[in-house]
Amino acid sequence: MAKLVIQGGKRLQGEVKISGAKNSALPIIVAAALATEGECVLDNIPKDSDVGTICLILRSLGVELWFDQEGKLHVVGSTLNKYQAPYDLVRKMRASFYTAGLLLARMGRAEVPLPGGCAIGSRPVDFHIRGFSQMGADITIEHGFMKATCDKLIGTNYYINRSSVGTTMNLMIAATLAEGTTVLENCAKEPEVVDLAIFLNGMGAQIRGAGTDIIRIEGVEKLRGIEYTIIPDRIEAGTYMFAAAITGGDVLIKDIVIEHLRSPLSKIEEAGVVVEKGATEVRIIAPERLTAIDLETAPYPGFPTDLQQPLVACMTVADGTSVITENIFDRFRYVDELRRMGADIKVERETAIVRGVPQLTGAPVEVTDLRAGAALVIAGLAAAGTTEIYGLDIIDRGYERLEDKLRGLGADIKRVETHEGIDAFAQIETRV
């Protein structure tokens, strides 16, 4: 186990390169196994632990995959030969439920553990399951697994209850090889959905409308392997934006798609930051103290829930009071940790009222979920004294080399091994 130790108060300066998007890479790696001809070669794959987990899950299903010397991931879908996803790996990550779409499309049979609740709420997969069922799959829920079979999935019209990234992607994966046409309505419009559709179309799928409310998928006989480059991670980019902002920094964030960050950029400008936009980069020039802003999270193109926590961290030291409403998940548990650092935050149902204080103070804190981890790092960068962040494995799920990149910007941050998890009884003597 390891923790992060941050000495706060350093102004961030310099350049940082953004990695490939985790939330694109996960479904795309799964979808790569739809190909029965040739191999997929995937570039800009972020080396975070969620991506590692999805690779291991696919390997357990028989899919051959490996990284080449340039860091590109090769996926050979034709070797897929099992339909049971292993609980010990799937339990680590909800995105592993994408294997259900893959297995139904390729094998006509899937046994995938139901993801449980997690630190950001109950997060069911009922929309996914209803979609598979409407496409003709015979589904039972037994012993914590979704067991589904079909001769072949059949195209259907399916209205998704509310905008859901995972449902849109899983059903898109499933429908590519279905018989006939699938029309998905009320689809999520996130850039990662569009990235998956472009990738699938490159493999030979017939998908139109990704990025709009209605996606139409004409099923095809088979898909082939292609080379593809994953889009940049807009949430990682946003995290560095807010890290720069809280430290009064001046940071150039490189290798991004600026259009994917419209809402976070406009909010950060409202908070007093000067934003200089280039085609694939953005310079963040922060004032000495940010101004408080109000905000509601919303599906894309609204402000992403994944950046709510980093933004709240910034607002804890802003001038004035912010009202932040979280509309997607139950994602305010981490505010207790920010309070331990001196933040003044009151939560009423899905709204946090954040009264800016002049300064946070470093403290030992615990990560509750991935983006909460990012928020605690951001708070630690600005706090007086030392912040120790426990639960680093959760941050490692979605950030590639976070502490290296921040150190490159002048932060005083290091990873230190801890003795968490040590057997307590081994340390207590036995007396006779």
Closer to ligand EPZ at the Cβ: 65 or 165? 165
What is the SS3 assignment for 285-298?
A: ECCCCCECCCEEEC
Rounded to whole angstroms, the Cα distance separating 266 from 386 reads 32
Residues 299-328 that bind ligand EPZ (CB under 6 A): 304-306, 328
- Measured at the CA of 90, the angle between CA 111 and CA 46, to 5 degrees, comes to 130
Query: Of all residues in this chain, which one has the CB nearest to ligand EPZ in the complex?
Result: 166
Closer to ligand EPZ at the Cβ: 44 or 305? 305
CA dihedral 404, 406, 409, 413 (to 10 degrees): -90
**187 class by beta-carbon count within 10 Å (0-12 exposed, 13-18 middle, 19+ buried):** buried
Which residues have C-beta within 8 Å of that of residue 10, sequence separation ≥ 6?
247, 381, 410, 411, 412
Closer to ligand EPZ at the Cβ: 5 or 93? 93
Total residues in contact with ligand EPZ, by rule CB under 6 A = 24
Is 125 an interacting residue with respect to ligand EPZ (CB under 6 A)?
A: yes
Is 10 an interacting residue with respect to ligand EPZ (CB under 6 A)?
A: no
Of 197, 237, 370, 372, the one binding ligand EPZ (CB under 6 A) is: 370
Rounded to whole angstroms, the Cα distance separating 29 from 67 reads 12
Is 95 an interacting residue with respect to ligand EPZ (CB under 6 A)?
A: yes
Part in contact with ligand EPZ (CB under 6 A); list of ranges 120-128, 146-154, 171-179, 386-394: 120-128
Q: Cβ of residue 124: shortest distance to ligand EPZ, in angstroms?
A: 4
Q: Which of 40, 55, 118, 150 is catalytic?
A: 118
Part in contact with ligand EPZ (CB under 6 A); list of ranges 38-46, 51-59, 123-131, 176-184: 123-131
Of 3, 10, 92, 94, the one binding ligand EPZ (CB under 6 A) is: 94
Residues 149-188 that bind ligand EPZ (CB under 6 A): 162, 164-167, 188
What is the maximal distance between C-alpha atoms in the chain? 76
Q: Cβ of residue 180: shortest distance to ligand EPZ, in angstroms?
A: 24
Rounded to whole angstroms, the Cα distance separating 276 from 283 reads 5
Rounded to whole angstroms, the Cα distance separating 415 from 432 reads 41
Please compute, for residue 18, the number of CA atoms within 13 A of its CA located in the half-sphere on the CB side. 27
Part in contact with ligand EPZ (CB under 6 A); list of ranges 53-61, 122-130, 220-228, 346-354: 122-130
Q: Cβ of residue 265: shortest distance to ligand EPZ, in angstroms?
A: 18
Identify whether 118 is a catalytic site residue: yes
Of 371, 377, 392, 405, the one binding ligand EPZ (CB under 6 A) is: 371
Phi/psi for 60 (5° steps) reads: -65, -20
Rounded to whole angstroms, the Cα distance separating 9 from 24 reads 34
Residues 26-45 that bind ligand EPZ (CB under 6 A): 26
Closer to ligand EPZ at the Cβ: 97 or 228? 97
Closer to ligand EPZ at the Cβ: 23 or 263? 23
Closest of 188, 103, 169 to residue 131, by C-alpha:
169
Question: Which DSSP helix (H) or strand (E) runs through 311?
Answer: helix 308-315
Rounded to whole angstroms, the Cα distance separating 77 from 199 reads 15
Rounded to whole angstroms, the Cα distance separating 412 from 362 reads 13
Give the per-residue contact string, 396-425, with ligand EPZ (x = CB under 6 A; - = no).
Answer: --x---------------------------
Closer to ligand EPZ at the Cβ: 204 or 301? 301
Q: Cβ of residue 233: shortest distance to ligand EPZ, in angstroms?
A: 9
Phi/psi for 410 (5° steps) reads: 100, 5
Indicate the SS3 state at residue 158.
Answer: strand
- Distance from chain centroid for Cα 147: 26
Closer to ligand EPZ at the Cβ: 238 or 356? 238
Q: Cβ of residue 162: shortest distance to ligand EPZ, in angstroms?
A: 5
Q: Cβ of residue 325: shortest distance to ligand EPZ, in angstroms?
A: 14
What is the SS3 assignment for 101-157?
A: HHHHHHHCEEEEECCCCECCECCCCHHHHHHHHHCCCEEEEECCEEEEECCCCECCE
Closer to ligand EPZ at the Cβ: 164 or 322? 164
Q: Cβ of residue 385: shortest distance to ligand EPZ, in angstroms?
A: 28
DSSP for residue 327: -
Q: Cβ of residue 133: shortest distance to ligand EPZ, in angstroms?
A: 12
Q: Where along the sequence are the contacts to ligand EPZ (CB under 6 A)?
A: 23, 26, 94-95, 123-128, 162, 164-167, 188, 304-306, 328-329, 370-371, 398
**Residues known to be catalytic:** 118
